[in-house]
Amino acid sequence: MATTTAVKPLTAFSYLTFDVVGTLIDFEGAIKDALASIAEKEGVDIDGEAALAVYRDARYEPGAGLFPDDLGRCYGRIAETFGLPDTPEYRQFMVDSVGDAKPFPDSAAAMAKLKQHYKLVAMTNAQRWAFDKYAEKLGQPFYAGFTTDDTKTEKPDPAYFHHVFAWVETDGGSKSDILHTAQSQYHDIGISRELGMTNAWIQRRHAQNGYGGTIEPKEFTEPDYHFHSLMELAEAAETVFGK
């Protein structure tokens, strides 16, 4: 499924900026798998989607910490809600499990295709230690990568985006050369529209209800490009570039 309301063709961009966690990396799957492992050991039934809702709420409380270290504190809230033991070992298990989250099945291959046509730039709310692991799993496709350790803030803070805009200018480009690519309406699609960027929404949860582990936006932003997978974007780019 691919739709567009864009006035700029895919050939007009030099840079693709990417949200990583949730767009390229299946962090929700990692959270649910880790919790299922703990629940099985403890003989407790747990609903993965319900647990994601608890994580989402806990994630945005003051003092939650940066991703994925935030999984430690947020696990405490999940454990309290579902009757799981809240131990230092389980908290660290959650952090480590999400730090080792896997890419979506199409991510690495799609990034390899897109790398032939664009400079790929990561813009992640993850810390550097986790991003380095994710980048390795993706096949090291990035021309540059920005983390919360670099920007000292998280999306959707406009300061994060302006940090990247400034870097793009030093690389000889401009904001108009960027197609911002992401799954999160809240963290990426809405703010990229406010900042005058062209965007591509990768709707990873198109077959699921709700927003999972990501905060729900106050209002939906109609994207310039809309895909259900990253491979759809990669194939669209191959079509317009002729290879």
Identify the band that residue 213 occupies on the pLDDT scale cut at 50, 70 and 90.
Answer: very low
- In tens, the pLDDT along 136-192 reads 999 999 999 999 999 999 999 999 999 999 999 999 999 999 999 999 988 999 999
Give the model's pLDDT for residue 198.
Answer: 96
In the chain, the percentage of residues whose pLDDT exceeds 70 is 92
Identify the band that residue 65 occupies on the pLDDT scale cut at 50, 70 and 90.
Answer: confident
Q: How far apart are CA 30 and CA 26, in angstroms?
A: 7
Contact, 209 vs 228, CB < 8 A? no
Q: How far apart are CA 20 and CA 138, in angstroms?
A: 10
Q: What is the edge-to-edge ordering of all strands in the sheet holding 119-123? A: 2-4, 225-227, 198-202, 178-182, 15-18, 119-123, 144-146
Give the orientation angle of helix 128-137 with respect to helix 88-99, to 10 degrees. 50
Distances (CA, A) of 186 to 178, 192, 198, 201, 215: 19, 10, 16, 11, 6
Is 19 among the catalytic positions?
yes
Give the model's pLDDT for residue 238.
Answer: 96
Query: Taking the CA atoms of the chain, what radius of gyration do you get in angstroms?
Result: 18
Residue position matching structure tokens 């919360």: 148
> Euclidean distance between the first and final Cα of the chain, in Å?
20
Contact, 194 vs 160, CB < 8 A? no
Question: Hey, which bits of 78-221 come out as E strands?
Answer: 119-123, 144-146, 178-182, 198-202
Contacts of 178 (CB under 8 A, 6+ apart): 13, 14, 15, 16, 17, 121, 168, 197, 198
Give the model's pLDDT for residue 6.
Answer: 57
Query: What is the pairing mode between strands 178-182 and 15-18?
Result: parallel
Q: How far apart are CA 42 and CA 37, in angstroms?
A: 9
Q: Does the pTM of the predicted model rise above 0.75?
A: yes
Q: Is 203 exposed, middle or buried (0-12, 13-18, 19+ CB in 10 A)?
A: middle
- From 19, 69, 70, 224, active-site residue: 19
- In tens, the pLDDT along 193-211 reads 999 999 999 998 655 565 5
